[in-house]
Amino acid sequence: MSKVVEKFIKYIKYDTMSDENSMTSPTTPGQMIFAKELVRELEYMGLQDISLDENGYIMATLPSNVDKEVPVIGFIAHMDTSPEVSGAGVNPKFVENYNGEDIILDEENDIILSPKEFPQLRNYVGKTIITTDGRTLLGADDKAGIAEIMAAMEILIENPKIKHGEIRVAFTTDEEIGKIGEYFDVEKFNANIAYTLDGEGIGELKYENFNAASAKITIRGKSVFTGDAKGRMINSLRIGSEIVSMIPSDETPEETEGYEGFYHLEAFTGKVEETKILYLIRDFDDKQFEERIAFIRDIVNKINRKYGERTASVDITEQYRNMKEKIEAVKYIVDIAIEAMKEVNVFPTVEPLRGGTDGARLSHKGLPTPNLFAGGHNFHSKYEFISTYAMEKSVEVVLKIIELFAEL
């Protein structure tokens, strides 16, 4: 088993699911437990300037071994897994020499990973694939990225003949719940440029992403005895359903792709007296993003005009912005990543990221940070999988990027 695969299997055993309802930072204790393990590993490997802050953020340095000045490069990944599917008790399954057919994950519950539904599987015929057992997610998002960064640093330490400038690494918490790089100290990190390893399939390279916000809508109703409810009851659940019906049905994640934005109904909970709705708002275009936010506010205003003031309220929280303009100002870092992929026989695919990474916020904080592939597919689901080949190629790309910067 290669270094990177060995590390990955070790890391996914840690339950680091984040929790958007928690008021702590990190939002779950498992993230700090995992962070402390990573710190121990970094110390054992011999990295320097290792720090772990109260938010679970880790930073460390691999000093330069060249006698000239080259840009300081950062590599970043996040420790938490999505709260959409449990990440506790991950039991990975190895499918060696994959034959291109259906993979039964959980026979009892008829959970099958099929190339008919997930055609990306066909890219890995003949390779070794790691899947879930159909009961949890796998955790490749983003423990694959962590494993790849750690493996690359270990290779550099064990092979001092490989020339490199100063390398900074960082691992963050709570990325999956929108706290993308929220507590990241760019000045302390002290890198000129950086890359996140948080992308999906092999060769993926992304430097533009959604603008993102959340909209928490609260509807206040009035509960009375149902037999005497006429003209008196205000059913917040029904009003909530009315709000949902006002959202364009063709502007949802299920109906959009490419550069199309959407409204995503993330949660709908309540009783007659109070209902809460959570929407995620996404769009690549700044103007259209602002228009989507205004549209949600307008819906709430219409509800209040119809049912009375203070019936509904909305709290809009901006989560992250499109990093495209920040990356294009230093486009050479994308060009170097493309060249690195080509040199290790990986075909680069540059596409928009229909999501966000730590790099989105960091780019707007002054640290240009495009996103490289970590190698996994079907993130946030029981159908998540990753090939050992993709992880090994990711390590090669990281090492080649470092080498190309040292030659500048």
Collapse the DSSP code of 162 into the 3-class scheme (helix H, G, I; strand E, B; otherwise coil) and give the result: coil
Query: Do residues 229 and 214 lie in contact, with contact meaning Cβ atoms separated by under 8 Å?
Result: no
Q: What's the one-letter identity of residue 57?
A: Y
Collapse the DSSP code of 17 into the 3-class scheme (helix H, G, I; strand E, B; otherwise coil) and give the result: strand
Collapse the DSSP code of 128 into the 3-class scheme (helix H, G, I; strand E, B; otherwise coil) and give the result: coil
Q: Quote the CA–CA distance of 206 and 209 in Å, as a whole number.
A: 8
Which of 161, 145, 172 has its CA nearest to residue 60? 172
Which of 254, 231, 246, 234 has its CA nearest to residue 277? 246
175 is catalytic: yes
Query: Do residues 166 and 72 lie in contact, with contact meaning Cβ atoms separated by under 8 Å?
Result: yes
According to DSSP H, which parts of 159-249 are helical?
186-189, 236-245
Q: Out of 80, 142, 154, 200, which one is annotated catalytic?
A: 80
Query: Do residues 354 and 305 lie in contact, with contact meaning Cβ atoms separated by under 8 Å?
Result: no
Residue 325's H or E segment, with its range, is helix 324-328
Q: Quote the CA–CA distance of 393 and 388 in Å, as a whole number.
A: 9
Residue 228's H or E segment, with its range, is none
Q: What dihedral do alpha carbons 182, 183, 184, 187 form, nearest 10°?
A: 120
Residue 53, C-beta contacts closer than 8 angstroms, at least 6 positions apart: 183
Rounded to whole angstroms, what are the CA distances from 208 to 140, 154, 318?
A: 21, 30, 17
**Structure tokens of 354?**
């229909």
Which of 368, 240, 374 has its CA nearest to residue 312? 240
Q: Out of 15, 141, 174, 175, which one is annotated catalytic?
A: 175
**Structure tokens of 144?**
């694959």
Count helices and strands in the chain by DSSP H and E runs: 10, 18
80 is catalytic: yes
**Structure tokens of 241?**
């359903």
Query: Do residues 33 and 87 lie in contact, with contact meaning Cβ atoms separated by under 8 Å?
Result: no
The residues annotated with a catalytic role in the active site are 80, 175
